[in-house]
Amino acid sequence: MAATPRGAGDRSRSAQRPAPQAERRADARRNIKSILDAAQLCLARDADASVADMAKAAGVGRVTLYGHFKTRADLVDAVLTRTMEQSDAALDATDTTGDPREALTRLVGASWRIVHQLHSVLRAAHRELPPERIRAVHDRTLQRVQTIIDRGRDAGAFRDDLPQRWMVTTVFSLMHAAAEDTAAGRLDADDAARVISATLLAALTAPGTAVPAPAP
Amino acid sequence: MAATPRGAGDRSRSAQRPAPQAERRADARRNIKSILDAAQLCLARDADASVADMAKAAGVGRVTLYGHFKTRADLVDAVLTRTMEQSDAALDATDTTGDPREALTRLVGASWRIVHQLHSVLRAAHRELPPERIRAVHDRTLQRVQTIIDRGRDAGAFRDDLPQRWMVTTVFSLMHAAAEDTAAGRLDADDAARVISATLLAALTAPGTAVPAPAP
DNA sequence: CAGAACTCGAACACGTTTGTTCAGGTTGAC
DNA sequence: GTCAACCTGAACAAACGTGTTCGAGTTCTG
């Protein structure tokens, strides 16, 4: 324990000190953020990146990393949290009112870039973190989609014959599928948002004349 | 060279079996196909299963496994190949003629059980085998879907404003998403085929009145 | 200057997995 | 019975990942 760097929070002592130490702590925190950014980038490139890889990407020693994050899971969790915060920030800026179909289109457009760049991070987290944690972090984003869908349903614009959860799953599934197709060169990244929206709108809006009824 | 067992099995003389010491011995005499079945089951339960796990599941020594398959990748590849063969066999039995929408529905119904049970195997393979290999093994199944979609397009039943490849991706993506939702208890397995079909038909059929047209 | 705070590389202990080698056991063919 | 094919567990080497410890360096502060 003697060799363990004290970590980011030693606030007990600096309560009264005016500027100098506070600056250092600010530095440390900024440092951590930039480390997280690097780790995020690293995980985005390779979901199997080791702690050593992330440390190198951050230009930092592996030991230093373990000083800030007790375990690899902690680090991944922090990266995930940061990722979702950024995502939420971007999504908060999009208007989700008005016509549900247009709202969904806008939301997809805003989400696409994020998913496109970070779905690898999510995959890494999905494999290494407990499911309830994943669920918790996704909650806000999930809720956002669900709200639009519910609203569209009430307005009669979205179909009523499928489970809500499945409709939400559909949205996320197609986004990630598009991300993988893009990474594999099978889909143009610039066209993806349009394609996803067009597919989703058709899939989720109220059944039209084109759908054959399997009933008698 | 000494470590490599010569033959694939002793199927020619297995007619008489007087009094085997234990069942494990009998298990040990099973042929490669049944080993692959066990490995398949093992991978279906846990995509991260080690060679030791698969050997144990097959009731066979790890060394014996390495006698049949030079590396772990070879084993996974063999399991994948067998999986796709079974899948193809099941899919060959389904009628893909007639109305493209109904054909797609039938194909989804037939595929669902397979994907439902084996998508974990596919994930394992996806992570450990080179992408072109995955692509090659999937080719027949891919082609099957593509054929229906192309036919539906020509008939004017399926929409024309999305890349074919994306439409194929949509089919597979939703199937796997449903498999995961089912595993997580968010979707009823018995209802899945209906839900998938209903979603896909809406997503892929020609735009109806419910879809807001972006152009005149 | 002294010391706290933070950092660093090197190296260690530990676990897991892959793939190989070895010495021996069972089985059916001849 | 003998022999070869086939199987087996035990044990090994090598690689890789995680987490910890050590000794030493830097930098800012008092």
* Low pLDDT (below 70) residues in chain A: 1-30, 207-216
pLDDT value at residue A39? 96
Q: What mean pLDDT comes out for the span B131-159? A: 95
Q: Do A210 and B205 touch (CB under 8 A)?
A: yes
Decide: residue B35, CB within 10 A, 0-12 exposed, 13-18 middle, 19+ buried. buried
- Rounded CA gap, B54 and B62, in Å? 8
CA of B63 to C1' of C30 (A): 29
**Residue B214 pLDDT more than 60?**
no
User: Is the CB of residue A66 less than 8 Å from the CB of residue A123?
Assistant: no
Q: How far is the CA of B43 from the C1' of D19 (A)?
A: 29
Choose the mutation target among B172, B199, B204 for the interface with A, i.e. most A CBs under 10 Å: B199
Give the pLDDT of residue B31. Answer: 78
Cα separation of B83 and B182, whole Å?
20
Class of domain A72-204: mainly alpha
Q: What are the tokens at B155? A: 């008939």
Provide the residue ranges of all domains of chain B, joining segments of one domain with +. Answer: 81-204
Q: Region B115-140: what's the mean pLDDT?
A: 94
Q: Is the CB of residue B200 less than 8 Å away from at least one CB of chain A?
A: yes
Residue B47 has a pLDDT of 94
Residue B83 contacts A where some CB pair is shorter than 8 Å: no
Q: Which nucleotides of D are covered by protein (CB under 7 A)?
A: 5-11, 16-23, 28-30
Using pLDDT thresholds of 50, 70 and 90, give the confidence band for residue B30.
low
Residue A18 forms contact with B (CB below 8 Å)? no
What is the average pLDDT score of chain B?
Answer: 84
Task: Check pLDDT > 50 for residue B18.
Answer: no
Q: How would you write chain A as a 3-class SS string?
A: CCCCCCCCCCCCCCCCCCCHHHHHHHHHHHHHHHHHHHHHHHHHHCCCCCHHHHHHHHCCCHHHHHHHCCCHHHHHHHHHHHHHHHHHHHHHCCCCCCCHHHHHHHHHHHHHHHHHHHHHHHHHHHHHCCHHHHHHHHHHHHHHHHHHHHHHHHCCCECCCCCHHHHHHHHHHHHHHHHHHHHCCCCCHHHHHHHHHHHHHHHHECCCCCCCCCCC
Quickly tell me which residue has 């089951």 as its tokens.
Answer: B41
What is the mean predicted confidence (pLDDT) over B133-160? 95
What is the per-residue pLDDT for A22? 53
Q: What CATH class is the domain B81-204?
A: mainly alpha
The chain A residue lying nearest B210, using CA atoms, is A208
